[in-house]
Amino acid sequence: MYASRSTRMRMLAAGTTAIAAVALLAGCSSDDDGSAEESTTTAEAGGTDEGEESGSGETVVIGFSGPAADHGWLGAINSAALAQAEMYDDVELKVAEGTNDANLQISQVETFINDGVDAIVLLPTDGAALTEAALKAMEAGIPVINVDREFSSTDAARVTILGDNYGMGVSAGTYICEQLAGQSDAVVAEVAGIDSLPLTQDRSAGFNDALADCGLSVSARVAADFTIAGGQEVTAELLAANPEIDALWNHDDDQGIGVLAAIDEAGRDEFFMVGGAGSLNAMEAIQAGDSVLEATVIYPSTQAADGIALARLVAQGADMSDLASPGVPHRIVLDAPVVTADNVDDYLEIGFES
């Protein structure tokens, strides 16, 4: 691996309060031979003083508020959360309508508080805007599980569960370094998401840091808007301005449909492409091996599902049995592995439809 000590130290510094969790909860991919049902049982353990594994506990009511499903990854977030709740016979899930309106989501949280739910799982449309509502829930004794977009106060959540945006960039950059080993003059291109968003900034920062460790840098960069049309438009401009490219990283597999369309229209195939997020269509393209798309970096669409599992444990006062320490961590950052033709079969089950 090309991730040098300096990059690894930057990743550690960015997550000193985080616990990296891969397949720790049901709903995540696992290398174990056990079934999903067996994985769920493992996550449920620890609900008794003796540490005995327990299939179910006291019934808890969990309120869930997530985004409008106007993007493949966001739709997968919602559906995975609902599926996770259905796996438990001791969870009653109250689901608010998906929305991108912060004011509506605030009212949804207030309704959950008035209803006296046992826990709230919240993927905020805007972390800062929802912070005050989450604080009110916490002050009312209702633990909040903050998913993906962080609140502006750590007091607003009992648990925060996140994907690793900086780590995505490091994974993509490290993979490209490995493929371009020794090519110090290689042309590396980047199709980012929305530049004003911290997540895009973090992904680009990780990418630049990883490339720097192997003596490469981004030669050409454009930013899209996480849509197919946006990805196609800016990629066409990128290709027109750069007649030779060796590698390209696209931050988002949904917009990647447009990116690939632009590449096909231009008749370009001299480079390889790495995607981001882990859509099913991207994985199938990697599996087929008939396009420039060679790999994608996972940004888990199971985060809210993990949030449901964590909310259940917190509300029941249970432990995470796979940890030696009691209780449930306050912060969990999920891994950002690279999916290639060699391991794609291991990740197909968590791929989402774009």
Sheet holding 159-162, edge to edge: 19-21, 331-334, 159-162, 144-147, 119-122, 60-65, 91-95
Confidence of residue 27 (pLDDT cuts 50, 70, 90): very low
196-255 pLDDT, tens digit per residue, is 989 999 999 999 999 999 999 999 999 999 999 999 999 999 999 999 999 999 999 999
pLDDT above 70 (res 10):
no
Cα–Cα dist 189/82, whole Å? 38
- Nearest-angstrom CA–CA distance, 331 and 353: 28
Give the pLDDT confidence of 273-314 residue by residue, as tens digits.
999 999 999 999 999 999 999 999 999 999 999 999 999 999
Whole-number Å distance between alpha carbons of 302 and 83: 10
**pLDDT at position 69, please?**
85
- In DSSP terms, 189 is beta-bridged to 220, 248
Q: Is the confidence at residue 3, as pLDDT, over 50?
A: no
pLDDT in tens, 92-119: 999 999 999 999 999 999 999 999 999 9
**pLDDT score for 55:** 63
pLDDT of 25 over the 90 cut: no
**Dist CA 265 CA 286 (whole Å):** 19
For 51-105, write each residue's pLDDT tens digit.
333 467 899 999 999 989 888 899 999 999 999 999 999 999 999 999 999 999 9
Is the per-residue pLDDT at 40 higher than 90?
no
- In order of their start, the domains of the chain are 23-163+301-334 (3.40.50.2300), 165-298 (3.40.50.2300)
Q: Do 191 and 225 contact (CB within 8 A), yes or no?
A: no
What tokens does 153 get?
A: 């106060």
pLDDT exceeds 80 at position 136? yes
- Pairing, β 188-192 against β 247-250: parallel
Average confidence (pLDDT) over 27-48: 32
Structure confidence at residue 50 (pLDDT): 31
pLDDT at site 114: 98
pLDDT at 23 over 50: no
User: How far from 188 is each of 100, 167, 208, 215, 238, CA to CA, in Å?
Assistant: 34, 18, 10, 12, 11
pTM over 0.75: yes
Tens of pLDDT, residue by residue over 172-188, are 999 999 999 989 999 99
Positive or negative, the CA dihedral 310, 314, 316, 322 is positive
State how far the alpha carbon of 138 is from the alpha carbons of 59, 117, 120, 208, in Å.
20, 12, 9, 38
